[in-house]
Amino acid sequence: MTNSNRLSGGQIDRTKPLNFQFDGKSFQGYQGDTLASALLANGVRLMGRSFKYHRPRGPMTAGSEEPNAIVELRTGAAQEPNTRATTAELFDGLVAKSQNRWPSLAFDAMAINDRLSNFLTAGFYYKTFMWPAAFWEKVYEPIIRKAAGLGTLSHDPDPDCYDKGFLHCDILVIGAGPAGLIAARTAARAGAQVILADEDFRMGGRLNAETFGIGDLGAPDWAAQQVAELASLPNVRLMTRTTVMGAYDHGIYGLVERITDHLPQSPAVKPRQILWRVYSKRAILAAGATERPIVFENNDRPGIMLAGSLRTYANRWAVTPAHQVAVFTNNDDGHRTAIDLITRGVTATVIDTRMDAKSLGDYETLAGGVVSDTAGRLGLTSVQVTLANGAQRSLSVGALGVSGGWNPNVHLTCHQRGRPAWDDRIHAFAPAGTLPAGMSVAGAANGVFGTHDALQSGHAAAIEAAASLGFAPQSIDIPDTRDAPVNLTPFWHVAGAKRAWVDQQNDVTAKDIKLAHQENFASVEHLKRYTTLGMATDQGKTSNIAGLAIMAEVAGKSIPEVGTTMFRPPYTPVALGALAGRSRDQDFRPTRKTPSHRWASEQGAVFVEVGLWLRAQYFPKPGETHWRQSVDREVLQTRKSVGICDVTTLGKIDVQGRDAAEFLNKIYANGFAKLPVGKTRYGLMLREDGIAMDDGTAARFADDHFVVTTTTANAVSVYRHMEFVRQCLCPDMDVHLISTTEAWAQYSVAGPNARKLLQKIVDPEFDISNDAFPYMACGDITVCGGLRARLFRISFSGELAYEIAVPTRYGDALIRRLLDAGQEFDAVVYGTEALGVMRIEKGHAAGNELNGTTTALNLGMGRMVSTKKDSIGATLSTRDGLNDPNALKLVGLRPVDRTKPVPAGSHIMTKGDPVDAAHDQGYVTSACYSPNLGHHIALAFVKSGDTRLGEVVRLVSPLTGVDHDVEIVSAHFIDPEGDRLRA
């Protein structure tokens, strides 16, 4: 049956046959075919099963509005479900599969649903699956989902790559039909930068489906001529296979361009699709119109399709679903389908609802007739016609074209909540109200259905748009066209029809709509949600209007009184991969690497993500089989001799200006105005509401120059906060901020031998002895023979410690040099785990304690909030609620049984009290095993903790089964007097 239904002509390349498979069977089509046209050419009308009732279905349309011919394309990881066969471009080797059927498309066991249709009406699920509640998610939903008509996923990662991009134009023309083509040409000739986008792989829109002439050319040839001229213009970008899927603010449109979907093999580095963000000054929507069906009994059999689509298959793809066809219409356009088919040797009969309808060619017209039923289990075999006189007549046909008129494609006009208005002239909703800024609508999308009128409309829209942008557009000649008016008399559905499908993708029937009204879901929005009308992936492009018409009839209203639901982006389904673009897997977000990254990698460091940074977590040595072994070694060696840690990730903000000190006084709760040059001070930053925001240090390098250090996690938010204060709260201050986090490689050198180690690399003219460079000193120095560097004597570990910074390009060399120089001290490099252990041992607060709920008082830093000056957050930190004498205080915890852990997240209960929220005494924020103390320790916030030192409390974590006693102790487990860091 190879190409048994192929006609002559068409816009396919018969010199390029393409082999493909559908449900395991091999077929042949031609270059230029879609999957649907190629299957129809091969006599295949049955392409899918319906969503709910598993009814046999074939293509209803020839475009992106298709509700029925939904298939799975490709195999393996590249398998894509729920794809429209009517838009899938055929390529050699394409493998397609029908979906939502078992065991086969021809025999589907789930078709039993169709027999149970009386029970499966609208609202069936809501009414039936109510009890017991525990079954909702675990039993009912999986069963219903399995039974419903969705395709299957491969469950493998998408093997394709996707991209995003940005385009700019003066005028974006959406749709390359007659109005779009002439609009683009007019605007381009005026000198505007034009983008013409069309979802089809061949520009021309409806013209490719017609046989009438434009000027001296046939419609497809005229379209090709226009495209050729546009392609020759440097200011025009033609984008085929590109769907304008959304209209957004400020003239921005979302476009999805399919780059490789039509290729047998896509190059590995080429994106499959690109999501373009188009910045347009003006846009002309020339998206055409979608034909609407008439609703009648059993109107969903394979072979029943829209009349215009039947004509498209015949004219563009030289295909007919059958050689005996009928057309059911309420307008003259249906007759045009019959004429074109007859011209190609197909036998056609027209059933026209209009009593005065006449044949416009050599075929029979049944004026005043309606299709009252159809027959054919897996494909249409006959239609039952009720004639004007009430008599019945059966027509043996394999295809039926249905035309109930045309609806302008208003979707993009609604993406900014514009509401279309009913147009009595065309009996359809047309664009109205507030359109997206800069948009105008032309051609059939604006309800202008004649081709000549559409050309004029597109031309006029382009003239107006170009002129509005300052161009001087010239009129161009509008060619004569020889199409005919539609002459429509509204007819929505055949009276009495029950099993008549309105929304074929979601299996919504006329009966469902009447039921919704009967159960008082009469609002159009309620109707939509109760019946799911228009909620499938086609957004009801072929069904909404019929649904509204039926609702209007049962409600005794007009269609405009019923109203219409809202169209939202995307216009057609968009692959999630296209929305993600390059941002997936390891490229989901950028990675920041520290200056010592290369060295750390060489050492086999285990890295941890800290925000965007990759930091070395610990450095395993041979023989160490558990991370704790590495961390314990790093901690012990640092406290015993010297350790080095890359702390480049801490935020570094350069603060300069005459008012720099005053500015820091403003943002820090403690005072900075009197900090001497060459000194560093610990600072606590509060939010406006008095809650602690971040801590860090500020080093004064000159009267008008500070370097502020923030925590790694808060580097961006602190900088943003400081800029806000500078620009908005203190614009009169002479102060300037700039981030230098990236500019300097900074290492902590900590431990009793830290000074001795540094003295080996710091140039001899700089004295860093304890007297010359005491605790909290800072200054510019040089190292390793003249390299400019900064030295800070600050300590996070509690040891004698420095932080040394050099220009980042030398960071790799510096850590290697420090280790070389440190060999005599058995210097060790430590990672973030050891860093964390040592700061907990020392009792230093970090992100776990600065958790957005804690105050200076909680942190034991209440006295740091100066009352002698105004600083951000100082006033609100005096609120009663933040100064409760029973407030949480930062303390240390150690287990009574030293073998027990003290896990973070555990809660503290007074011994003897019930374990419940009402008796909660606080919670553990940070915990670790202290290799120096030989047991676990923790930092915790405990109510009045500072007065409860020595008290044994109960540590509980019902989720993890923790329940044992711990003792409240000082948070400073190591060197509470600070002798080490001042040594």
| Contact set with other proteins (CB under 8 A) | 161, 163-168, 269-271, 274, 277, 279, 582-583, 587, 589-594, 597-598, 612-613, 648, 654, 656-658, 732, 734, 736, 738-745, 782-788, 806-810, 812-814, 817
Q: For the CB of residue 269, give the shortest distance to other proteins in the complex, in Å.
A: 4
Q: Which is nearer to other proteins, 519 or 820 (CB)?
A: 820
Q: Which is nearer to other proteins, 587 or 688 (CB)?
A: 587
Cα dist from 356 to 338, 348, 353, 384, whole Å = 17, 19, 9, 21
φ/ψ of 405, rounded to 5, equals 115, -170
Q: Which is nearer to other proteins, 827 or 856 (CB)?
A: 827
51 CB-near residues (< 8 Å, 6+ apart):
100, 148, 149, 150, 505, 506, 507, 536
Q: Which is nearer to other proteins, 273 or 337 (CB)?
A: 273
User: Distance (Å, rounded) from C-alpha 275 to C-alpha 258?
Assistant: 9
Burial grade of 586 (CB within 10 A; 0-12, 13-18, 19 or more): exposed
Q: For the CB of residue 588, give the shortest distance to other proteins in the complex, in Å.
A: 9
User: Distance (Å, rounded) from C-alpha 539 to C-alpha 279?
Assistant: 26
**Both structure tokens of 51:** 């969503």
Indicate if the alpha-carbon torsion angle 170, 174, 177, 179 is positive or negative. Answer: negative
Q: Which is nearer to other proteins, 552 or 758 (CB)?
A: 758
Q: For the CB of residue 424, give the shortest distance to other proteins in the complex, in Å.
A: 44
Q: Which is nearer to other proteins, 324 or 739 (CB)?
A: 739
Q: Which is nearer to other proteins, 269 or 917 (CB)?
A: 269
Q: Which is nearer to other proteins, 539 or 712 (CB)?
A: 712
Is residue 462 classed as helix, strand or coil in its secondary structure? helix
354: nearest Cα among 553, 500, 488? 488
| Phi-psi label, residue 867: left if phi above 0, alpha if psi -120 to 50, beta otherwise | alpha
Burial grade of 671 (CB within 10 A; 0-12, 13-18, 19 or more): middle
Cα dist from 194 to 223, 468, 715, whole Å = 17, 14, 43
Q: For the CB of residue 785, give the shortest distance to other proteins in the complex, in Å.
A: 5
**Both structure tokens of 913:** 């009290």
Burial grade of 573 (CB within 10 A; 0-12, 13-18, 19 or more): middle
**Residue 912 near residue 921 (C-beta atoms within 8 A):** no
Q: For the CB of residue 93, give the shortest distance to other proteins in the complex, in Å.
A: 24
Count the neighbouring beta carbons within 10 Å of the beta carbon of residue 665.
Answer: 21
Q: Which is nearer to other proteins, 419 or 584 (CB)?
A: 584
Q: For the CB of residue 699, give the shortest distance to other proteins in the complex, in Å.
A: 14
Count the neighbouring beta carbons within 10 Å of the beta carbon of residue 812.
Answer: 17
Q: Which is nearer to other proteins, 302 or 438 (CB)?
A: 438
Q: For the CB of residue 123, give the shortest distance to other proteins in the complex, in Å.
A: 46
**Nearest-10 Cα torsion for 308, 309, 311, 312:** 120
Count the neighbouring beta carbons within 10 Å of the beta carbon of residue 495.
Answer: 10
Q: Indicate the residue type of 285.
A: L
Burial of 331-356, coded b for 16+ CB within 10 Å and e otherwise, reads bbbbbbbbbbbeebebebbbbbbbee
Q: For the CB of residue 721, give the shortest distance to other proteins in the complex, in Å.
A: 17
User: Distance (Å, rounded) from C-alpha 311 to C-alpha 209?
Assistant: 7
844 CB-near residues (< 8 Å, 6+ apart):
796, 798
Q: Which is nearer to other proteins, 491 or 613 (CB)?
A: 613
Q: Which is nearer to other proteins, 69 or 252 (CB)?
A: 252
